[in-house]
Amino acid sequence: MSELVKYEQDGAVAVLTINRPEAMNAFTTELSSALQLALEKAHNDESVRAVVLTGEGRSFSAGADLKSGFEGRPVYGKLQYEYRPVLSAIASMPKPVISAIPGSAAGIGMSTALSCDLVIMADDAFLLSPFTTISLVPDGGLNWLLVRQLGYRRAYQLSVESERIPAERCVELGLANRAVPAGQLRSAALEWARSLAQRAPMSLAATKKAMRHAMDHSWESSFDLEAELQQSLAGSDDNKEGVKAFFEKRLPEFKGK
Residue 65 belongs to domain with CATH number: 3.90.226.10
**Distance separating alpha carbons of residues 232 and 140, to the nearest angstrom:** 33
Does the residue 115 lie in any domain? yes
Whether 191 and 224 map to the same domain: the answer is no
Containing structural domain, residue 242: 201-248
Q: Quick check: 73 pLDDT over 80?
A: no
Whether 184 and 207 map to the same domain: the answer is no
| 3-state class (DSSP) for residue 2 | coil
Mention every residue, 6+ apart, whose C-beta is less than 8 A from residue 12: 47, 48, 49, 50, 194, 197, 198
Question: Cα–chain-centroid distance for residue 165?
Answer: 18
pLDDT score of 70: 55
Whether 211 and 183 map to the same domain: the answer is no
Whether 66 and 32 map to the same domain: the answer is yes
For residues 175-185, give the mean pLDDT.
Answer: 97
Q: Exposed, middle or buried by CB within 10 Å (0-12, 13-18, 19+), for 39? A: buried
For residues 243-247, give the mean pLDDT.
Answer: 94
Confidence band for 162, pLDDT divided at 50, 70 and 90:
very high
Q: How many structural domains is the chain composed of?
A: 2
Does the residue 99 lie in any domain? yes
DSSP annotation of 151: -
pLDDT score of 171: 98
Confidence band for 247, pLDDT divided at 50, 70 and 90:
very high
Indicate the pairing of strand 165-166 with strand 126-128. Answer: antiparallel
Percentage of the chain lying above the pLDDT 90 cut: 92
Whether 65 and 154 map to the same domain: the answer is yes
pLDDT score of 1: 58
Whether 164 and 244 map to the same domain: the answer is no
Does the residue 65 lie in any domain? yes
For residues 7-26, give the mean pLDDT.
Answer: 97
Whether 164 and 221 map to the same domain: the answer is no
Confidence band for 67, pLDDT divided at 50, 70 and 90:
confident
Which of 94, 60, 71 lies closest to 205 in space, CA to CA?
Answer: 94
Does the residue 169 lie in any domain? yes
Q: Is the dihedral of CA 72, 78, 82, 83 positive or negative?
A: positive
User: What are the DSSP E strand ranges found in the chain?
Assistant: 5-10, 13-18, 50-55, 97-101, 104-106, 118-122, 126-128, 165-166, 178-180
**Distance separating alpha carbons of residues 212 and 144, to the nearest angstrom:** 13
For residues 87-106, give the mean pLDDT.
Answer: 97
Residue 57 backbone zone (phi > 0: left; psi -120 to 50: alpha; other: beta): left
